Amino acid sequence: MRYVPLFLAAAVGAAVCGCTPTIKTESEVTIKPVQIDLNVNLKVDKELTQALSPDSKPDLKADPNSSDVRERRRARRDQIKAFKSAQLLGENNKGLLEVRTENGKVTDQVRKVMEAENSDRQLVFEVVAQKQNSTPEFVAQRWAARMAERAPSGVWIQTAGGDWQVKP
């Protein structure tokens, strides 16, 4: 009987020591490196050049009533350049033209040209996005970045952050 408390103490000690929880510190999540595909940007830029560049078909006559977006844009090109130089219109960061006068008022002719151009651009953004498995917003932002780079000095452009500035 003397050994019973000793045996009981040994049994409790063994049970406590044998039941310690095991904590795993290994992460089961595998972290993969980020892969950026610049090829998407290049493909979108190429499609935009083909679809929106007014010089992509220089042998065609500029016709504002044509069903071809490039011809309609070519017919408006000189007017848009004049409106931009007069700082009536600017290129926003969504790839569209926007009124940039202090009071926000422009003639009906300026507004009509701006709306027609923006409508054609949006059509092209949607077509290019569908071809490149992208979004129209992404395509429009790529176009806006290109327009900001190519804009001549003295023209209103909107930065990616949304601030307006006259290009130096």
Burial group, residue 87, by CB count within 10 angstroms (0-12, 13-18, 19+): middle
Give the Cα separation of 104 and 114 in Å (integer). 13
- Of the listed ranges 30-39, 99-108, 110-119, 127-136, the least confidently predicted one is 30-39
Percentage of the chain beyond pLDDT 90 is 34
Give the Cα separation of 89 and 117 in Å (integer). 12
Question: Across 22-31, 44-53, 72-81, 95-104, which has the greatest mean pLDDT?
Answer: 72-81
Question: Please, which residues have CB within 8 angstroms of residue 43's CB and are 6 or more apart in sequence?
Answer: 132
Give the Cα separation of 126 and 122 in Å (integer). 6
Burial group, residue 122, by CB count within 10 angstroms (0-12, 13-18, 19+): middle
Residue 102: CA count within 13 A, CB half-sphere: 0
Give the Cα separation of 18 and 84 in Å (integer). 81
pLDDT band at residue 128 under the 50/70/90 scheme: confident
3-class secondary-structure state, position 99: strand
Question: Please, which residues have CB within 8 angstroms of residue 162's CB and are 6 or more apart in sequence?
Answer: 93
Digit-coded pLDDT (tens) for 60-114: 344 455 677 888 888 899 999 999 999 999 999 999 999 998 777 788 999 999 9
DSSP 24-64: -----PPPPPP---HHHHHHHHHHHHHHH-TTSSTTSPP-T
99, β-bridge pairs: 89
